[in-house]
Amino acid sequence: MNQNDKTPRKKKCILTFARAWNTLAATRCLGRQGIEVITGDTSTFAAANFSRYSKEHFTYPNPDEDPEGFIDKLVHVALSHWAPDTDIVLMPLHTDTYAVVRNQTRFERLVKMALPSKDQFELAGNKNKLAHFCEKFKINMPPTLVVDKPSDFAKGARKFNYPAFLKIPTSTASIGMRKVNSDDEAIRYFNEMIKQYDLTKPAQYPILQQCVEGEDYCATFLFDHGERRACMTYHNILNYPRGSGMGAVRETVDVPEIEAMGSEILRKMNWHGLAEIDFRWDKVSEPWLIEINPRFWGGLAQSIESGWDYPHLLYKLAVENSVESVNPEKRYVRTWNPALTILLAFQEFMESRHSQKELAHAYKEFQNEFKKDNFKAIGGLLGKVGAVLDPRERFNAIKSIEKVLKDEHGAVNEFFSWEDPLPMLGLLYPLMVFIRHGQISPELLIGKAKIDEEESGGT
């Protein structure tokens, strides 16, 4: 080959959990940089699969039920794309990240990755271990009860201050989180959680964490072998479920106090790759660290729209093993998630005082009709909801949502893009979860629900 031949290397990236809106954001971000994106999920009916930037998509076994099969499939896909002139990066997007972290040796010389070590991931991603870490280094975390034996929980709960939250140490997106207002309530739900989620090891036992004053802030980071390379923070204006959980409407904010605190924590861990840290802060006292997400975060679109192209930065870190610090000109934008906003409206409707029976009947009819004619069923559902709720009740049920959306007119819709419109079909995913289960919860919405191929339209 001619020594002067400087043909650029081909660029590819494999993304998992294609149903998620952060995967869609990553797919678009990487695709716009000229990187060929391959998306995967347990179902073909996933938002990112419909993106023009997804050049190929595949299905894999559920990583929670068959982690070995999941890894085998990723290895197979990577092998099918491997070439000596190609840089392939594997980016797991959700809780399946842990399966990849534990099996990094399976991908050596096959793909490139920028992930923390297994020990780092387990420390950051387990609220039980994180509580001990914060106590050791005097990091400001809300008072937290951690026990090694279920029998010790009742003793600690009797002395605890309420209200508080019960949390499963390794959960995400408010899965397995319950607000409790008394010791009796805490003890009862602690025992129920152990049975419901089959928690058998001390590191799995729910923790009890005191509620603290302030608002929720999400600080996002990219670290290069213990050194910070990028950082930005956003604030959730509306959440689903209401009052906690995933951001439905978000805004970019300046909070150097929080970013300095988060940077110091990740530096102590010698972090490598991406992380998002949830804080609660009243803007007066020292911020409270709530939890660390050692992976991509739900509000990734907010970060990208604000100027931080985290997926592309992570790609470069994986390929080059190092990146320079970036500090782009911050864009003070707001984003909104139509899927979560719809679910929040459903929540308001279902909790309205006067129409629950009528709404339940409308949803039942909708479920039956959907199997025959999807679009007719959706139109009929909207009509029935409007008819069931009189104007005053309808206003009372969703006035907070209407007000925020009116105030946020012009906020970026993280699903819809004129240049890439088809992922809007992904909005049907939470609706299908509702159809199958008769309800929507974080467990069902974030990876815990199974949708049969014949129901999702997959092949």
How do the pLDDT tens digits run along the chain, 459 residues long?
A: 445 557 889 999 999 999 888 999 999 999 999 999 999 999 888 889 999 999 999 999 999 899 999 999 999 999 999 999 999 999 999 889 999 999 999 999 999 999 999 999 999 999 999 999 999 999 999 999 999 998 899 999 999 999 999 998 887 655 668 899 999 999 999 999 999 888 888 888 999 999 999 988 999 999 999 999 999 999 988 777 666 667 778 999 999 999 999 999 999 999 999 999 999 999 999 999 999 999 999 899 999 999 999 999 999 999 999 999 998 988 888 888 776 776 666 666 555 554 556 666 666 676 566 556 544 654 565 556 555 555 444 444 444 555 555 555 567 878 778 788 778 776 665 555 554 554 444 444 444 433 333 333 332
Report the candidate in 132, 144, 166, 129 with the shortest Cα–Cα distance to residue 244: 166
Q: 269, 134 in Cβ contact below 8 A?
A: no
pTM as predicted: 0.81
CB contact at 8 A, 27 and 48 = yes
* Spatial distance between the Cα atoms of 175 and 445, rounded to a whole number of angstroms: 10
* Orientation angle between helical segments 338-351 and 356-370, nearest 10 degrees: 130
The residue assigned the tokens 């152990």 is: 194
Alpha helices in 306-427 (DSSP H): 310-320, 338-351, 356-370, 374-388, 391-407
User: In order of start, what are the domains of the chain with their CATH numbers?
Assistant: 10-113 (3.40.50.720), 143-210 (3.30.1490.20), 215-336 (3.30.470.20), 345-456 (no CATH)
Q: Are 212 and 140 in contact (CB under 8 A)?
A: no
Relative to beta strand 178-180, strand 164-167 is antiparallel
